[in-house]
Structure 1
Amino acid sequence: MNPNPTQPIGDAAPFAAPPHLDVRTPRVFMPAGACDSHAHVCGPLDRYPAFAERIYSPPPEATLDNYRAMLAALGVSRAVLVQPSFYADDNSAVLDGLDAMGPQARGIVVLGDDVDDAELERMSAAGVRGVRFNIVDVKDGKGVLPMDRLRAVARRIAPLGWHIELLMHVNEFPDMDRAFADFPTEIVVGHLGYVPARHGTADPGFQALLRLMRDGRAWAKLTGPYRISATGLPHDDILPFAETLVDQVPDQLVWGSDWPHVKVSWSIPMPNDGDIADLLTRWVPDPAVRERVLVDNPARLYGFS
């Protein structure tokens, strides 16, 4: 038995906290075709080993079977599986998840430099619709957008109808609307722009994201409120961000659970996914707009039929 449940045996990377497996049925109504547009499936590590330089390990409970049980509890039928950072560019878990879930799932991958066009075609046929770049956690060039690399990849994937997904704090990039004005693909930014709530909605980077979204060049995900909030549920301090996005750019928004919530530390209570889903009633109170965010927008972005 491992004497420290947060530490893998023989490994320096601690386990992230496990998600709730007893998911509460949400109060919010999930319409037919509702999509969880941001989730990670992980492990088991003996089948899908994480790369050695990772800063944490996925919890053993973060399996595809547990994720599908969570979706069923929420009443959500579609999903987007996003490549987590601890797998680097080994997309095996995502691709196997897409194969298991079939046409109701889409994927976002990380590409190595040696991926050829035939492999991109195979990934597209499997349900991949985008390439993820982690701008936040990179060891070199933190706070700098690798625009040459981004453009090179975007030019390759544009004919496939894919997009670029960026894990970035948009408050660090107040001129991002100019940087991406003529970009070859649309971009998608997670966690309401990943702006710490203390910056407020007047933050220049958040305003630049809004301009890109109004021009139809960018999307934002209503995900991960605990990543940017300084308060507990229901995270009142980020409500202005959600309200601004819903009021100004409702057709460029999607929602996601951010399951299994790997950025929640052991010192912060793990949220129940029923509570995460119920934040939609505060963020998107109009049922008609909520259906656009949950069904119509992800169908357009990810190609669900």
Structure 2
Amino acid sequence: MPHGDTTGPFTKTEGWLDWYDGPSAPAFTLPEGAVDAHCHVFGPGAQFPYAPERKYTPCDASAEQLFALRDHLGFERNIIVQATCHGADNSALVDALNRSEGRARGVATVRRDVTDEQLKALHEAGVRGVRFNFVKRLVDRIPTDSLDEIVAKIAPLGWHVVIYFEAADLPELYDFFSSIPTDVVVDHMGRPDVTKDPNGPEFGLFLRFLRENPNVWTKVSCPERLSVTGPRALPEEIPNGEHIMYSDVVPFARRVVEEFPDRVLWGTDWPHPNLKDHMPDDGLLVDYIPQIATTAERQRKLLVDNPRRLYWND
């Protein structure tokens, strides 16, 4: 699997960590029909230029490289999420969907002036949702009235809204998120601070958000992005010598999977944009799954039934 150096008139952000091109073969066997429900494509920049307003410039990560990883890990399908480095130009996403032979669906980024014809074309390509990003270091904040207009346009298509935010911003955004009438999918459990108590008030607000809004789903993905301790467990955290990866994230994700088994999704987040301290082995990320979905039934819901219901139910 060749690596993805940026091509064309773009220079990677200084200090950018490229994705790991030698992933291990997972020890955990994925259930038949498993879906990687959160991943991206970047460029290639020479073919699909990065957006002028982007906050970062990544290495290239093509559709062919994504699908090679899919097959290596044992997934059958992908959900490809529009990356912020491409802004509202969904060309790279649509190209990947067209190359997938029906084995991928997409989540796009659109602006308030998007037309019904443009939405129809995205739908025919396989797009089934739009993403609203509220992470201030990645995007400029968009007024919520603009987002309301977008929701009104996508609702007739049966699409859902994906929201990406950080835990500290949930109190401010709680009412707006709760008002969204479509299905809503939260990226990465709303990025909890895993140094805090999973039974404490901050994560408790997120759990309340899920309980009060039965249309809200969440991805229990990205332990590599949330962890403070990293992929290696501390010796005192290893029962019977068994290795626990990203052990500080496990209590948060396991709690969500156990309480909301029909509204959880999981994805690799390949090619792992904007990581600062390490680049994960995607094979080991797959081996993390049974730590948070501890029974075959929960694993099948997380990896097969839930993403199929949300993305292929038409």
What corresponds to 1:278 in structure 2? 287
Change in Cα spacing, 1:273 to 1:139, as seen in structure 2 (3 Å) is closer
Residue 149 of structure 2 is aligned to residue 148 of structure 1: no
Structure 1 stretch displaced more, 287-296 or 207-216 = 207-216
Looking at structure 1, the residues matched to 282 and 248 of structure 2 have their Cα atoms a distance apart, in angstroms, of 20
What corresponds to 2:251 in structure 1? 240
Change in Cα spacing, 1:45 to 1:175, as seen in structure 2 (3 Å) is closer
Cα deviation digits, residues 128-178 of structure 1 (max 9, x gap)? 01111110035654xxx8432222211111111111111101332136554
The Cα of 1:300 is off from its aligned counterpart by 1.0
The Cα of 1:24 is off from its aligned counterpart by 1.0
Query: What percent identity do the matched residue pairs reach?
Result: 35
**Matched residue type, 1:66:** Q
2:299 to 290, 293, 297: 290
**Any conservation in 2 of the 1:174–1:206 contact (CA below 8 Å)?**
no
Looking at structure 2, the residues matched to 26 and 12 of structure 1 have their Cα atoms a distance apart, in angstroms, of 30
* SS of 1:123 mapped into structure 2: helix
Looking at structure 2, the residues matched to 70 and 187 of structure 1 have their Cα atoms a distance apart, in angstroms, of 27
Structure 1 stretch displaced more, 115-124 or 149-158 = 149-158
Looking at structure 1, the residues matched to 80 and 312 of structure 2 have their Cα atoms a distance apart, in angstroms, of 14
Equivalences for residues 27-106 of structure 1 within 5 A: 27-60=27-60, 62-106=61-105
Change in Cα spacing, 1:72 to 1:297, as seen in structure 2 (3 Å) is same
Equivalences for residues 157-176 of structure 1 within 5 A: 157-174=154-171, 176=173
Structure 1 stretch displaced more, 179-188 or 34-43 = 179-188
TM-score by length of structure 1 reads: 0.89
TM-score by length of structure 2 reads: 0.86
Equivalences for residues 171-190 of structure 1 within 5 A: 171-174=168-171, 176-190=173-187
1:217 to 215, 221, 230: 215
Q: How many residues align?
A: 295
The Cα of 1:292 is off from its aligned counterpart by 0.5
Residue 255 of structure 2 is aligned to residue 256 of structure 1: no
**Matched residue type, 1:45:** G
**Matched residue type, 1:70:** L
Looking at structure 1, the residues matched to 269 and 70 of structure 2 have their Cα atoms a distance apart, in angstroms, of 12
CA RMSD of superposed structures (Å): 2.3
**Any conservation in 2 of the 1:15–1:58 contact (CA below 8 Å)?**
no
Cα deviation digits, residues 37-74 of structure 1 (max 9, x gap)? 000111211111112332322213x1111111111111
Unaligned runs of 5+ in 2: 232-244
* SS of 1:245 mapped into structure 2: helix
